[in-house]
Amino acid sequence: MNAYYWPWWLGGPLLAFVAVLYPLLTRAPLGVSGALARLLRWRTEGKPEPSPEPAPAANPGCGDRPGVDPAPAAGCVAGPDRFANLIFLLAIAAGGAVGGWWGGQPPVTGIYSPEFHRIFGSGVQGLVVLFSGGVLVGFGTRLSGGCTSGHGLSGCGRLQPASLVATAVFFGVAIGVSFLLEALKR
C-alpha cells in the first residue's frame, strides 16, 4: 500500500486558506471537535441566558480558546449555527474523498495494512480496537480542550500557551506511539 501525499506547495496554502477563512466567516476558532460539539448541542445557539447586568456591545474574548466551546455567556457573540458546522464537517469528509481519489485510492476501502491485522487482530477484535481508539480520542479532545486541528492550527497560530503545550504533547505522544508500533512490527 503506497501512500500518496499532496505536495507541500498545494496542501499548505489550502490549509492556511481554510484556517484563516473559517474564523472570519463563522466567528469561531477552527477545530473539528468544537464544530462537532456545536453541531450536537441540543439547546439553541445564539440565545444566551438572561443576565441581570446589561450586556456589553461585543466581547471578543468569549469562548475564544481553540477547541473549547463553552455556552455563550451574556453579551458574547454567538458562534456559527448548526448548518455551518454541518457543512464544515461534510466538507472535511468530501475533501478526504477527493484527496483519496486524486491519489488513486478509493475514498472508503475498509482495507487495513497487514501490520494492523498482525498487531491488533482482524474481524471483531480489530473493530473493538478501532472503536476503543475513537473513544479515547474523544475523551482526549474534551480533556485537552480541543483537537489537533483546533490547537495546532488556530491556537498555535494565535500563540495560545495552552495550545502550544497541547500540540507539543500531541506530537510527543504520536512519536512515542510510532516508535512503539515499529518495535512491535519486529
In the chain, which residues have pLDDT < 70?
1-4, 42-80, 104-110
Residue corresponding to grid cell 497560530: 157
pLDDT at 102: 75
Residue 25 Cα distances to 17, 36, 90, 155, 164, angstroms = 12, 17, 17, 17, 24
Would you state the pLDDT for residue 51? 45
Q: Residue 109's pLDDT is what?
A: 62
User: Average pLDDT over the chain, rounded to whole?
Assistant: 75
pLDDT of residue 110: 65
Q: Which residues contact 27 (CB under 8 A, 6 or more apart)?
A: 77, 78, 79, 80
Write out pLDDT tens, residues 141-179. 888 888 888 888 888 888 889 889 989 998 999 999 999
Dist. CA 105–CA 2, nearest whole Å: 9
Q: Are 146 and 65 spatial neighbours (Cβ–Cβ below 8 Å)? A: yes
What are the extents of the domains in the chain? 8-111
